[in-house]
Chains A and B, each alone.
Chain A
Amino acid sequence: MSALQARDGLRRVTVAQGETQVSSERDVVLTTVLGSCVAACFYDPVAQIGGINHYLLADGTASDPASMQRYGVYAMEVLINAMLTMGAARSRLRARIFGGATMREGFRDIGGANIAFARTFLRNERIALVGEDVGGTRARRVEFRAAVGLARCRSVVDAAPPVIAVRKPPPPPAAVGDVEFF
């Protein structure tokens, strides 16, 4: 993650694959570039708190759907918990999802799997999906003004497909899955 102060007075915070960022500051724009990955933008309009994650559930060789599900639920829960800690309410959350492009022809549809997970998760959790720009074959740049709930997504037409399209999911934090007895 890095922050840049732009000429428009807004601070842009880059969110990398595997990261989560939340904000209630009106001059902050959370931004990320997506290939096959999906980013979920959550917003609580009452608390005026927003957050974004950026996940990739599988690479081209993954064959364990249960593992995908566990990691995906984890990625969403980290975002939701971060927002609740700042004062958001789960019942007020609205979601938009972006990304999930097919970046390589003939390659297993990783993007589609990432999109399907997000939709299923939101339906099961009863979180309203109020907008999406997903699928296709082009990379996207998402800019999310978290504190006001405004998300802008545009195609990255002049860029090579991001290497993240074929990268393995980032390793979860070192402690993940660890058991500690008291």
Chain B
Amino acid sequence: MAKTIMTVDDSPSMRMLLRVALTDLGYSVVEAEDGVHALEKLDGFQPDLLITDINMPRMDGFGLISEVRGQGRRSLPILVLTTESSDEKKQRARDAGATGWIVKPFHPEKLAAAIRRVLH
């Protein structure tokens, strides 16, 4: 059965690019448009991996990661996918409980390798 990846990004264009790339890799994809929407979808649902943007309305990626970890979901891998690359923001993500950090625009092969590393 295909593993499920939740993607969280406020840009429909970015969600579409991720959906195409991830389904091509054989994964099932669930999408959310910001942190609040993601938490709603995570209620009673456990994906195998969460990939989230940082800059989003209502609840950003840092808030989402903190909430997810605060719910006790320690084993859920969380990859940040963002245009940001500052050490300060990486540290914030690390402190919140992120598993890894990927800089946009994503490279499909690097993304695939990162997913394999956290899922298998």
Contact A178 B94 (CB under 8 A): no
Contact B100 A77 (CB under 8 A): no
**How long is the Cα–Cα vector from A90 to B60 in the complex, in angstroms?**
14
Given A180-B90, A182-B100, A182-B101: A78 in contact with B106 (beta carbons within 8 A): no
Query: Which residues on B sit within 8 Å (CB–CB) of A78?
Result: 83
B: which residues have CB within 8 A of A? 10-14, 16-17, 20-21, 55, 57, 79, 83-85, 90, 93-94, 98-108, 110-111, 113-114, 117
Contact A177 B107 (CB under 8 A): yes
In the complex, the number of residue pairs spanning A and B with C-beta atoms less than 8 Å apart equals 84
**How long is the Cα–Cα vector from A66 to B14 in the complex, in angstroms?**
12
Q: Is the interface of A mostly helix, strand, loop or mixed?
A: helix
A: which residues have CB within 8 A of B? 66, 69-71, 73-74, 76-78, 80-81, 84-85, 90, 121, 124-125, 172-173, 175-182
- Give B98 Cβ to nearest chain A Cβ, in Å: 6
- Give A178 Cβ to nearest chain B Cβ, in Å: 5
Given A175-B103, A182-B94, A182-B98: A73 in contact with B110 (beta carbons within 8 A): no
Contact A74 B104 (CB under 8 A): yes
Q: Which B residue's beta carbon lies closest to that of A74?
A: B105
A178 touches which one: B57, B84, B110 (CB < 8 A)?
Answer: B110
Contact B110 A77 (CB under 8 A): no
Task: Give me 18 A-to-B residue pairs in the complex whose CB atoms sit less than 8 angstroms apart, sorted by A's number.
Answer: A66-B21, A69-B13, A69-B17, A73-B17, A78-B83, A81-B83, A121-B13, A124-B13, A125-B11, A173-B85, A175-B85, A178-B102, A178-B110, A179-B79, A179-B102, A180-B102, A182-B94, A182-B99
- Give A72 Cβ to nearest chain B Cβ, in Å: 8
Query: Which residues on A sit within 8 Å (CB–CB) of B14?
Result: 73, 77
B117 touches which one: A77, A172, A181 (CB < 8 A)?
Answer: A181
Q: Which B residue's beta carbon lies closest to that of A120?
A: B13
Query: Which residues on B sit within 8 Å (CB–CB) of A90?
Result: 10, 57
A77 touches which one: B11, B16, B111, B113 (CB < 8 A)?
Answer: B11
Contact A172 B100 (CB under 8 A): no
**How long is the Cα–Cα vector from A70 to B103 in the complex, in angstroms?**
12
Q: Which A residue's beta carbon lies closest to that of B79?
A: A179
- Give A175 Cβ to nearest chain B Cβ, in Å: 5
